[in-house]
Chains A and B, each alone.
Chain A
Amino acid sequence: MTVLTEPSSFDVQAVVDEVWTTFLGGEPLVPVAPDFDPAGTFPGSRWDAAVTVSGAWHGLIVVSVNDAVAHAVTQAMLGLDDGDTAAHEDVVDALGELVNVIGGNIKSLMDGPSKLSLPLVAQAPIQAGGIVETCRLDLAWGSHRVWVTVGTRDEGGTS
């Protein structure tokens, strides 16, 4: 039997909402029906930002957005004016900090002690071996989509 102990979708949603509204203000995230197949083509050019948690709980937290959202998030976090375009390294840094804070707060939902990794940001899907997706949030931010997935290490025996 495979036993997974993972944070609930409800708790993950609460963490993401709090972090998002605190840092980005304005438009809240609204849950929507899943409308893309992660195995299929990502709608728009993709940015993934991820942290891992290791210790009493082993997990992977990934925030996925398209290029427009990545830049909008960066602009908001850095307080840039509308006309200013965020540089590539600013986007990497802002998305990294966003997932760092979301991941740290998800870590605190689980029994510790455990350690949070430094963030990893890529313009490609981020996955980790031995981690199975245990929670996926499909969210709308205005006309854009934001995805948050939480994976938990498969402590599996025989899955």
Chain B
Amino acid sequence: MHALIIDDSRTMRSILRRIVVDLGFDVTEAGNGQEALTALEDGLEPDLCLIDWNMPLMDGYTFVTRVRADPRWRNITLMMVTTESEHGQIVRALAAGAHEYVIKPFTADAIVEKLELLGLAAQEVPA
């Protein structure tokens, strides 16, 4: 499985990278939506994109709308991971085609739980 982590903060990309690598993902990083879109155009085929909202050049919301407008990328799971927590923004992102929405700050468990619900991480079987 492959994750594309899109955030203008290298620190945040590193935090997310450690979480998904532990789940067995390979990771590609992009510093903004435009860079991520270019990676997709160049043939990257991620199963999952983790997407920040506020980034220079192209924000995460625009990235989601661009990905959802292109049938080549319909199988990619899109998960917003952002500090934006206004209700209106969450609704907009989900309406635009994001599958999940995680508000920063988050714990590793919160990300893993969302990925389990999306079928991208193995559910832990209760003992």
Contact = CB atoms under 8 A, between A and B. Distances in A.
A104 B83 contact: yes
Contact of A22 (B9, B11, B84, B106): B106
Contacts of B83: 100-101, 103-105, 116
Interface in B100-115: 103-107
B12 interface: yes
A131 interface: no
B105 A116 contact: no
A47 B22 CA distance: 33
A23 B107 CA distance: 8
Interface in A53-100: 74, 77-79, 90, 93-94, 96-97, 100
A113 B15 contact: no
B82 A79 contact: no
B6 to A, nearest CB: 14
Nearest to B86: A112
A64 B55 CA distance: 23
Number of chain B interface residues as a range: 20 to 34
Contacts of B89: 113
Contacts, number: 62
Contact of B11 (A74, A108, A116): A74
B54 A23 contact: no
Contacts of A114: 86
Contacts of B106: 22
Contacts of A118: 8, 54, 56
Given A22-B105, A100-B54, A118-B56, A93 B11 contact: yes
Which residue, B11, B84, B105, has most C-beta atoms of chain A within 10 A? B11
Interface of B: 8-12, 14-15, 18, 54, 56, 82-86, 88-89, 103-107
Interface of A: 18-19, 22-23, 74, 77-79, 90, 93-94, 96-97, 100-101, 103-105, 107-108, 112-114, 116, 118
Given A104-B54, A118-B8, 12 more contacts: A19-B105, A77-B15, A100-B9, A104-B82, A104-B84, A105-B83, A105-B105, A107-B86, A108-B84, A108-B86, A116-B54, A118-B54
